[in-house]
Amino acid sequence: MDTLIAAPLSFVDIISTLLAAIAAFFGLVIADKFIEHGISAKRLFTISFLSLFVVPVVFSVIFNYYNYSLFLATGIMPIIALIALCELLLSSDRKTKLETAAAGYIIYGVFALFILPHIFAVIPL
């Protein structure tokens, strides 16, 4: 069985996950001004793209193949990856790293749950 055909993510789901990751990146750039931890935009983009786009897509394919819950792939694994990447790539104290991870995940969740459904209800794909 081809796992890419059985993946739960359609083209629209992949695009919406990408848009949510991009929104989280811009939210992190704006939050950087309030938290004042001075993280470069390249690191913020790497953190948001890998943990909020690549991880949900890859783990949903893997978890679908092994019949695990897809909530783990789209809800739990991104926050674990976000915390891990913040710990690895940021050079500030632990509180600032966790604030960055929490801000990114909250922006990602709000955008994915409340804003994207209205956008894709208007755009026929």
- pLDDT band at residue 39 under the 50/70/90 scheme: confident
Classify residue 125: in a domain, yes or no.
Answer: no
- Residue 102 within any structural domain of the chain: yes
Domain housing 79: 11-120
Listed residue (17, 43, 47) closest to 111, CA to CA: 17
Is residue 5 situated within a structural domain?
no
Residue 4, in any domain of the structure? no
**105 part of a folded domain:** yes
- In a domain, residue 71? The reply is yes
Mean pLDDT of 20-31: 91
Residue 6 lies in a domain: no
Per mean pLDDT, which of 11-20, 70-79, 82-91 is the most reliable? 82-91
Region 92-108: what's the mean pLDDT? 89
Confidence class of residue 4 from pLDDT cuts 50, 70 and 90? very low
Distance CA(108)–CA(17), nearest Å, equals 9
**Per-residue pLDDT at 31:** 86
pTM of the model: 0.83
In a domain, 3, yes or no: no
Mean pLDDT of 9-15: 80
Residues 6+ apart with CB under 8 A from 66: none
Judged against a pLDDT cut of 60, whether residue 116 lies above it is answered with yes
How does residue 6 score in pLDDT terms, banded at 50, 70 and 90? very low
φ, ψ for residue 69, nearest 5 deg: -70, 135
| pLDDT bracket for residue 8 (50, 70, 90) | low
Q: How many domains does the chain have?
A: 1
